[in-house]
Chains A and B, each alone.
Chain A
């Protein structure tokens, strides 16, 4: 495995899963990303990323109960794992440290 580095999109998906709590399944994730970032992501791309994340051990998945929608097919719900949480924290920490290193001077005039 390439190590535990998170790609940019992977991080977004992981964050979305964390934020959606127990409602995180593929279609929901796509919608959520679209509503927050405005990116029109394709379902296939999200699926591939979910698959990769699961392989890396950042998320776990389970099939939910069948519902009337989707022709009675079950949804696959994703949960963030401990490793996932650690990876997110690490990523945030790295960014925070980078932010804190930036003198306020740099952003003058933008806010």
Chain B
């Protein structure tokens, strides 16, 4: 025990050990302990104090342990040297350096495009102060007949009310409904506005700034409207907006707030907000409304503001309980709800009925995957050329090693060199990025105003990090190869350093590059052919020369007589929607058996519809007259509907009555005609039964004109004149049917453009790589060629010898790429398309053909040059 007492407190010892360098520690500590042993005889406290003071006093420059990193500081001293040798070697080999830098720059411009795009998407909704506590209730709907459920961003008013009234644990429950549309006017001035209905919690939950009005009461009264600054300015010019009454049809609204213009990175966008209570008053008056139903999940949104540290799973529990009770009441469908945090709304999982713009993670992953393809290809170039040329750097490596450089240092040097190249590239790629940005915004984002892709300073940081990453990826393989070189073998006989491993690796990389190029070209060919196929698909009716004019809730009877007078218009019909443009309407239809109902696609059309679109009747004909008031009496059905309800032949169906499910009184319709099967939905889905129901004026949304004119512009002007006599508020909207179809298949056009663009990039990069390799091979074999030539080899012979290796590689990549892309597109991308092209040899060989042509031209150019060279020039020095 007495001995133990002579030891100073352990923590003081530890303090000394913390800073003191190892070689001083032992005797220093010994000295202090000796003193301690002396002092403790007087007083323990005093001894401790002196010990502690001494420990502190010994903390001097020479006693402090040098951090380990300082031992490796030589790297930093060497960086200057690395920089010098790297830039010199880059400057010496201008061709290879420019191939490397250009290739990386091209691919990195795509990379920084993606970085900007994704970082912008991730910035969505980050400006809400209470953002972490905001959740949205989402729905999953599954009808009995379908095996899977589909997810919706929307939900029911029912669930919002239920949570608000019967459950606690939320700070706020916000109810919203989309599609608020009105033409509001103040005096002479009328403007159309779009927006949402929102309950009064809106401004408590979201941090949209009100420049005028009280945020907590702005939406609490019926017929209150909140405008954005932009809208208010349009309507009131310079005058004060707040408190003003605006008129819309028979209703009048009071402006109770003006909200500052919305940030573009918000998933909620609007020109105006109408108080939710306006809607509730409207619907509570009607008894037949489905507004408060459990199943009305298509239009409404519920946002929850939870208290601090609340557990969203608790809410999910409530939602499950509600769903269990409510789903028990029906056997036709199942609805389930869960909450999703604000951060996961953009980008989100794949959801229908979004309230505003969104992008699914799946789409982002696809873009990232394609981008990586191109970037990796450019990295291969760097790796390839660097390894190929590493023989030239071997002497340098040898000298460095002899002088004392370790493997790590050589490795660092060459990675550093790669990073320099990638930093130069990222600067160039920023220029390229500015060039391709407008195209990207136009083609892929479809000029959506919300995505601006503006440069922010934080991006500079991302770009540099990206450049470092690419530098390391591209430089790692050549660096390993070079670091592994043995000094002794370099000096003994430089030619014995064969880099055998690197050689086969290089071949693999080239093959991979060309496989990628071929794959992408095949992809773009297939996407293009499928797009054309969709446009030219035989839909079972004619769309040629059909011009669709959007009625925008005007009375068709006012327009038709005027339009009919135009000599260019031969026929006019009216319809509810336009088939095969992605829009679908459906109704529940029954035949004799009241329990056997089917979801059937419908369109409301007039009697001329069949002649304007040249439908083929199998039996019967069009409606005898148009129903200008009251309810529809007739229906024309297609073959598939007959099959669905087991009619024996078209003729037997004529005169039969089918029933459309309606809430109050079912609609009984007599089948008056049967048309052959036609394409109603977009062509990648299976054809389904369709009923063309006799329309009434409220059902019509479009006029379909059959037009024959050589001067479309003049004709459109005439139409617009007629239009503006009838409707002064809404701009005239008319599109040719074929244009609408083209738009509907725009996603495929985009796919084709992206694939095409990436294929172009990939092939340019691969060609540059091939060029580099061809130059390298011919240079190193120059002597061999000369000798062969002297001995009598013909030019053709020489070119064959030089190109042989490359041709074999091209053949191998073709052999890999063709089956791979066939499987990819046939089994994955287009597997569930019903109507699609058959991928045949033309599509597959197109890529191979293009790549071969470019490849052989490149190789031929180099080998031809080498074969033509005068052997005397080459061998003179020997």
Contacts and interface: CB of A to CB of B under 8 A. Distances in A.
A51 interface: yes
B27 A26 contact: yes
Contact of B27 (A42, A69, A73): A73
Contacts of A26: 27, 31
Given A43-B35, A69-B34, A71-B33, A48 B60 contact: yes
Given A26-B27, A71-B7, A44 B54 contact: yes
Interface in A21-53: 25-27, 42-44, 47-48, 51
B8 to A, nearest CB: 10
20 contacts: A26-B27, A26-B31, A27-B31, A43-B31, A44-B57, A47-B58, A48-B60, A51-B62, A63-B27, A69-B34, A70-B30, A71-B7, A73-B26, A73-B29, A73-B30, A74-B26, A74-B27, A74-B30, A75-B31, A76-B27
A43 B63 CA distance: 14
B560 interface: no
Nearest to A74: B26
B121 to A, nearest CB: 61
B26 A27 contact: no
B657 interface: no
Contacts of B54: 43-44
Interface residues of A, number: 17
Residue among A27, A48, A71 with the most chain B CB within 10 A? A71
B589 to A, nearest CB: 97
A32 B242 CA distance: 94
Interface of B: 7, 26-35, 37, 54, 57-58, 60, 62-63
Residue among B30, B60, B63 with the most chain A CB within 10 A? B30
Given A43-B54, A44-B54, A44-B57, A63 B31 contact: no
Interface of A: 25-27, 42-44, 47-48, 51, 63, 69-71, 73-76
B32 A71 contact: no
Contacts of B32: 43
Contacts of B37: 69-70
Contacts of A27: 31, 34-35
Contacts of A74: 26-27, 30
A65 B63 CA distance: 22
Contact of A63 (B26, B29, B63): B26
Contact of A48 (B27, B33, B35, B62): B62
Residue among B34, B62, B63 with the most chain A CB within 10 A? B34
B58 A75 contact: no
B30 A71 contact: yes
Contacts of A69: 34, 37
A75 B27 contact: yes
Residue among B26, B31, B34 with the most chain A CB within 10 A? B31
Given A26-B27, A51-B62, A63-B26, A73 B33 contact: yes
Contacts of B29: 70, 73
A73 B60 CA distance: 21
Contacts of B58: 44, 47
A94 B161 CA distance: 104
A26 B35 CA distance: 11
A74 B26 CA distance: 7
Nearest to B8: A71
A43 B35 CA distance: 9
Nearest to B60: A48
B21 to A, nearest CB: 11
Contacts of A44: 54, 57-58, 60
B32 to A, nearest CB: 7
A43 B36 CA distance: 12
Instruction: Across the A-B interface, give the 5 residue pairs with the lowest CB-CB distance, nearest first.
Output: A73-B30, A76-B27, A70-B30, A44-B57, A70-B33
Given A44-B54, A63-B26, A63-B27, A70 B34 contact: yes
A109 B31 CA distance: 45
Contacts of B7: 71
A7 B516 CA distance: 76
Residue among A63, A69, A73, A74 with the most chain B CB within 10 A? A73
B27 A25 contact: yes
Contacts of B28: 47
A47 B55 CA distance: 13
A95 B189 CA distance: 109
Given A43-B32, A63-B27, A73-B33, 17 more contacts: A26-B27, A26-B31, A42-B57, A44-B58, A44-B60, A47-B58, A51-B62, A63-B26, A69-B37, A70-B37, A71-B7, A71-B33, A74-B26, A74-B27, A74-B30, A75-B30, A76-B27
B864 to A, nearest CB: 69
Nearest to B13: A71
Nearest to B27: A76
Contacts of B34: 27, 69-70
Nearest to B32: A43
A42 B55 CA distance: 12
B393 to A, nearest CB: 41
Contacts of B30: 70-71, 73-75
A51 B64 CA distance: 13
A71 B26 CA distance: 10
Nearest to A52: B62
A71 B36 CA distance: 11
A2 B63 CA distance: 21
A21 B472 CA distance: 60
A57 to B, nearest CB: 16
Nearest to A73: B30
A56 B30 CA distance: 24
B5 to A, nearest CB: 13
B9 to A, nearest CB: 14
A75 B54 CA distance: 18
Contacts of A25: 27, 31
B455 to A, nearest CB: 55
Contacts of A70: 29-31, 33-34, 37
A27 B26 CA distance: 14
A47 B63 CA distance: 10
A16 to B, nearest CB: 15
A75 B176 CA distance: 82
Contacts of A51: 62
Contacts of A73: 26-27, 29-30, 33
Nearest to B28: A47
B491 to A, nearest CB: 39
A81 to B, nearest CB: 19
A63 B57 CA distance: 23
Nearest to A46: B31
A47 B26 CA distance: 13
A7 to B, nearest CB: 17
A26 B29 CA distance: 11
A51 B58 CA distance: 12
A22 B26 CA distance: 19
Contacts of B31: 25-27, 43, 47, 70, 75
A41 B845 CA distance: 93
A73 B13 CA distance: 13
Contacts of A48: 60, 62
Nearest to A44: B57
A71 B31 CA distance: 10
Contacts of A75: 27, 30-31
A86 B63 CA distance: 28
A42 to B, nearest CB: 7
B157 to A, nearest CB: 80
Nearest to A69: B34
A47 B62 CA distance: 10
Nearest to A67: B30
A51 B28 CA distance: 12
A69 B33 CA distance: 9
Contacts of A43: 31-32, 35, 54
B27 to A, nearest CB: 4
A33 to B, nearest CB: 14
Nearest to A51: B62
Residue among A69, A70, A74 with the most chain B CB within 10 A? A70
